[in-house]
Amino acid sequence: MSSVSIDLVTILLQGNYSEETAGIIKRLRAFAPKMPIVLSCWESNRAAVVAANLTGIVTVFSEDPGAPTVLGFKCDNIRRQLVSSHAGLNHVRTPWVVKIRSDISIDPRRIPELAALCVPIPAAGPALFGTKVVATSLTTLDARRADLYFHVCDWVYLGRLEDVRAIFSAPLPDGDFFTHFQHASPEPEICSRYRSESYLIYHLVSDKLGVNYPFSGYRDPALARLSNEVLKANFAIVNPWNLGLQSSKHRKLYLWFRSDRYSELNCGSFLVQVGLPRAVVAACRDLTSRCASAIAPALIGMRNRVRAWRA
């Protein structure tokens, strides 16, 4: 499997800056000193960033567009993600880019090999990009099981600059987009018309394939089939440990492998590209994580009952 030189790839960290972000940048620098880094955060972070004296990186400051809050629903940060990602991508000068959140870390030593998964997409298929984009499996969903379409985890995107830029070319949502499910029963987790992971990809599906649907959770078997075709044609899905992905906020990522997730086993070309010995190890770890995710709720519930009984 051919690889891409690390100096042709920029890492873009987008979102709120914190001391954790400074630590992530230092680790990236230690592993890949020549790799360009762009930090795209908020004007409110400027003083902290200047005080941290982060040398050798490009820093972009934007006005925080805010995240509309609807009582009883999880906050939707899609406006923040679009603004900070778009601003940061405008300062990328390499042909390849890895967009990550400012509160997660990946192992940059894996990037050259992973970039080789970004192979050209046949024009005859449901193509959204020129080449495949690498994403992670954490919240990338099989539409036939989850009833959520074009739902690709937005923590990490690795690809050609023009392809990742296309993802974040979505219009900035406003108004009733964020209150669509306010009076729905039962209430979903997110009040917005589309979940952010879906919205970033769906706008391309609408523009390039001419396919539209009214809201996340809308059920249509034909649309579910198209969603899976789009994901398999346009993305190479890689499990978090093969990205070297770490999150201080979410430490037990192996418990995210539910039956409705797309992973290396059923979406993408990672197992084919790495060769038989590594593919066997990767597949075993994938299956083990799926088993752990399946039994974890029961074990946690049993533990909580034991603790309650002892109390």
User: 192: phi > 0 → left, psi -120 to 50 → alpha, else beta; which?
Assistant: beta
Q: What is the pLDDT of residues 85-132, one digit of tens each?
A: 999 999 999 999 999 999 999 999 999 889 989 999 988 889 999 999
Q: Is residue 247 part of a domain?
A: yes
CATH number of the CATH domain containing 160: 3.90.550
Q: Is residue 55 part of a domain?
A: yes
Residue 64 tokens, joined: 């925080």
Q: Is residue 266 part of a domain?
A: yes
Q: What is the pLDDT of residues 29-60, one digit of tens each?
A: 999 998 999 999 999 999 999 999 998 999 99
Please state, in angstroms and rounded to a whole number, the distance separating the CA atoms of residues 305 and 311.
Answer: 10
Q: Is residue 183 part of a domain?
A: yes
Q: Is residue 235 part of a domain?
A: yes
pTM to 2 decimal places: 0.90
Q: Is residue 273 part of a domain?
A: yes
Q: What is the pLDDT of residues 248-291, one digit of tens each?
A: 877 676 666 677 787 777 766 776 776 666 767 777 777 777 67
Number of independent structural domains in the chain: 1
Q: Is residue 1 part of a domain?
A: no
Largest Cα span, the chain: 63
Q: Which of 36, 51, 41 is nearest to 92 (CA)?
A: 36
| Domain ranges, residue 100 | 6-310
